[in-house]
Amino acid sequence: MQKQGQFSITLVCVILGIMLAVQFRTTQDIQSSVQYQRAEDLTQRLMQVEKERTALENQVRDLRKISTSDAATKDLENTKMGSGVVPLQGAGVIVTVDDTKPVAPSGSKNPTLYLIKDEDILKILNELRAAGAEAIAINSQRLIVSTEIRTAGSFLSVNNTNLSAPFEIKAIGNPVTLENALKMRGGVIETLQFWGIQVVVKQSASVELPAFKGTFRFQYAKPIQDGGK
């Protein structure tokens, strides 16, 4: 009986050992499987994030190219408009200045006081520019930075072209602001009318200006290269 009891106990111990071993191995397999699954999930998520990041980087690169191209095109258009080499259209005013009707008093010692001179036109132009005029033309001559306006006998020389009265000054800008600047009390129009010079200001929703037809000449000015050299 004693041997049978020992055998039974031994058999039970062996069975328990086998069960514990199997349970331990199963636990390890489960843990290993879970860890592997987590690693695989993380790898897939990482790959997905990398794909999304690459796609976003490509979108940003494309948008920068488009933005840079649009900005360069806009800058070029503004440069052309500012230099006067392209015709323009926009709201503004048309100012007609005329001295062809004789108004000088008889016996006047200096009848030229009643004629339009370069300084009269320059005063009108200065008022228009100060009021925000973006572009100006006199008759068929577009004004640019190098435009000269001077009296040449009975003519007015603009861009080396002789013009005669009446002078039609077209300016693009806010029509109300431009007209008010010219018609302010004690301003340029009131002064010219005192000397019998007729000035008519007309607002327009569509003022057309021609492009500058001359050539640009630079004898002394040169562009500065990169680095200031």
Q: CB–CB of 182/189 below 8 Å? A: yes
pLDDT tens for 3-20 read 555 555 665 565 666 666
pLDDT tens for 130-171 read 999 999 999 989 999 889 999 988 899 999 999 999 999 999
Give residue limits of the domains in the chain.
1-83, 87-209
Q: How far apart are the first and last CA of the chain?
A: 114
Tokens encoding 196: 């019998």
Rounded-to-integer distance, Cα 171 and Cα 169, Å: 7
Whether residue 1 is predicted with pLDDT greater than 70 in this model: the reply is: no
**CATH class assigned to 87-209:** alpha beta
Q: Which residues, 6+ apart, have CB-to-CB distance to 203 below 8 Å?
A: 92, 93, 175, 176, 179
Rounded-to-integer distance, Cα 25 and Cα 179, Å: 96
